[in-house]
A and B are shown apart, each in its own frame.
Chain A
Amino acid sequence: MSQDKKRNLKIRLEHVTRVEGHGNIVMDVKNGKILSVQWQVSEAPRFFEMMMVGRYYHELSHIASRICGICSIAHALASLKAVENALNVEISNQTMLLRKLAKNAENIQSHILHVGYLVAPDLFGVGSIFPLIKTHKDAVLQIIEIHRLSNELSDLICGRTTHPITMVVGGFTKIPTEKELAKFKSRLYRAKDTIRNIADIVLSNIDKLPNFSRETEYIGLISKDEYALYDGVIGSTDTGEHKIEDYASITQEFVVPHSTAKHARHNRSSYMVGALARFNLNSSKLLPLGQEIADKFDLKAPCFNPFMNNVAQLVEIAHCIEDSIHIIDKLLDTGLKEEEKVEVEAKAGRGIGVVEAPRGLLIHDYTLDNNGKCVKANCVVPTNQNHENIQKDLEAFAPTLLDKSKEEIEHNLEMLVRAYDPCISCSTHYLKVRFV
């Protein structure tokens, strides 16, 4: 079969597994030539924009969080920031620190879910984490330790692991006690060693990740002060710094017939967002533990191998663990206090909120009427921005696989899509279209 110049092949990978949501990979090879290779999104559209229209500003973050079960905190935060921007609401330093802590918790949760539960089976040559419970129980328990820690931290700050309760416009309905935070600090210290161990396990199986590179543009938040996750301006590896207000000219979205999710492009035919994009834009701002993990893998910016997104996620887990310890120190230094409820006055206006969701740049843009009801909503989600880059990677990657068996080709193509950690539910939940 291999090296067969006359090879014919039809690949129909319906519902790629171990990703969030429904997507297909379709490839046709005739006489040894690739006629087409396509990444298709078949997820049922949900029309979130229409669900938000007519709802009061204080309900929007609770609707928005339902866009995604994995990154519900990011959607809630982008939503709150958009509303606060529209209504000129200032938040306290304590609120900002608690939000950053929640953001870190979600980033750790989402990344360890991806690397530990969804990608690790590829590294060990099995179909899911379940058989690993028997064969590699220690490794699985370490993965679960990080997963549990991040989930319980989300729980503490947000009142629930999935779909936050306590975060509201202007502040929190309930805050943790100093004792509760101090307890997490010691758990986070322990987690530093655990993530080192997990990184070593991944490192010893790193040869299972294909060595494939394709230069592209990377986009994400950047900040002078820190590795940008909660706040910043939009940065591009091609074109530098951009204002948040100019997001529409950067994330130019378009519709393709084989996908219920929109695609996006900026300076080139496609761009990438997410952990690898953030690493490529912000690596100089990593905290020491994040840098230590990057060094283990010899990961340096710019890295053009999409499979290294998995490693960039490990680097970010380490960074977020260390950053969370710093945040808790700051909160304990000043002492936590019940703050006065921020008075919010409903008025007409437009507001934009951005954060880095685990999978990349997330933007919510709302227009409110005089009563504070939403009249227009637009959400630009990370996976939409990645779809076209996945497609372009498939086009470059597939030709390198043609001397492999059909099963190996399928496995490699699936691994490529999985490396992006696509969140397809997010990406089919959206909004205004411009046609190109």
Chain B
Amino acid sequence: MKPKVAFFDFASCEGCQLQVLNLEESIIELIEIVDVVSFREAMKEHSDDYDIAFVEGSIARPMDEERLKKIRSKAKILVALGACACTGGINALRNQYSIEMVKKGVYGDADIENNPYFDVFHTKAVDEVVEVDYYVYGCPVDKDELTKVITSLALGKRPEIPNYPVCVECKKEGNVCVFEEGKFCLGPVTRAGCGARCPSNNNACEGCRGLVDNPNINSELEVLQKYGLTLEDALERFKMFCYREMSK
């Protein structure tokens, strides 16, 4: 029996689900090992009978919390797909402001009170609402890593997600350290698995995969300051994708 897989999305750019379609010809192999039973972005059919739910996006409203809890109750395995789902991602940047401020900033004086569509709270990662079994990090997720995760789960195995910093992969790629070029890189504390994509393209890591489990933040802050950032600026850099960790 092939496991039944469903894809769901909440507040997000849907770029992580898009990586499934970006598998190109490998999609054909993928649907040989799993049955995709729900995938609104790509399919008309929908079934509530699924084994593995992939959830993209962060959770912003009570109506979304309810929907997520229903998904959790039906899924045997729930996987958080991408930065927004895993940590709140870039969506959490707005959590530094009050709800009143963001609503007013975007919708002005519109009469949106008592309208459930607009009833937002500070955005939450998926695991702030329901239990998450596995995390696929990144903004967006890496499609090769995603394939490995789906394959492992289809075989009943535990997917391996790296818990070492991007620097390890960056060295393997043979890159010149971007700090040397005056760029402010978060690679030393950010979870690997992307193949050090940004430094390999001569740009700095922005921490989209979140922090490794025991990051040495203080030494990273020292390095950033050594290369010319103020403490405030250095902390701000982390906020882009790690707002939740930074606000703890």
Contact = CB atoms under 8 A, between A and B. Distances in A.
A46 B44 contact: no
Interface in B88-112: 89-91, 93-94, 97, 101-102, 105-112
A21 B106 contact: no
Interface in B40-75: 40-46, 57, 60-61, 64
B13 interface: yes
Contacts of A20: 14, 41
Contacts of B130: none
Given A17-B44, A166-B202, A260-B118, A435 B105 contact: no
B22 to A, nearest CB: 6
B180 interface: no
A49 B106 contact: yes
Contacts of B139: 66, 163
Contact of B206 (A62, A161, A174, A255): A62
Nearest to B141: A162
Interface stretch (A121-129, A215-223, A304-312, A361-369): A121-129
B115 interface: yes
A128 B15 contact: no
Interface in B13-46: 13-19, 21-22, 24-25, 27-28, 31, 36, 39-46
B4 interface: no
A129 B36 CA distance: 12
A411 to B, nearest CB: 9
Which interface residue of A22, A166, A168, A433 has the most chain B CB atoms within 10 A? A433
Contacts of B117: 42, 258-260
Given A46-B91, A435-B110, A17 B40 contact: yes
Interface residues of A, number: 64
B169 to A, nearest CB: 15
Which interface residue of B39, B60, B90, B206 has the most chain A CB atoms within 10 A? B90
Interface stretch (A288-296, A314-322, A424-432): A424-432
A318 B197 CA distance: 31
27 contacts: A17-B46, A18-B42, A20-B14, A20-B41, A44-B60, A50-B101, A54-B236, A62-B206, A63-B93, A66-B13, A69-B15, A70-B13, A72-B15, A113-B21, A117-B21, A127-B43, A128-B44, A130-B36, A133-B28, A147-B21, A159-B197, A159-B198, A162-B15, A162-B19, A174-B202, A431-B106, A433-B106
Given A55-B240, A144-B25, 20 more contacts: A17-B40, A21-B14, A45-B11, A51-B90, A51-B93, A63-B90, A63-B93, A70-B15, A113-B18, A121-B44, A129-B42, A144-B27, A151-B22, A159-B201, A160-B197, A162-B15, A174-B203, A257-B112, A432-B106, A433-B106
Interface of B: 10-19, 21-22, 24-25, 27-28, 31, 36, 39-46, 57, 60-61, 64, 89-91, 93-94, 97, 101-102, 105-112, 115, 117-118, 120, 139-140, 197-198, 200-203, 206, 236, 240
Smallest CB-CB A-B distances: 8 pairs: A69-B15, A159-B201, A127-B44, A128-B43, A173-B202, A69-B13, A51-B93, A433-B108
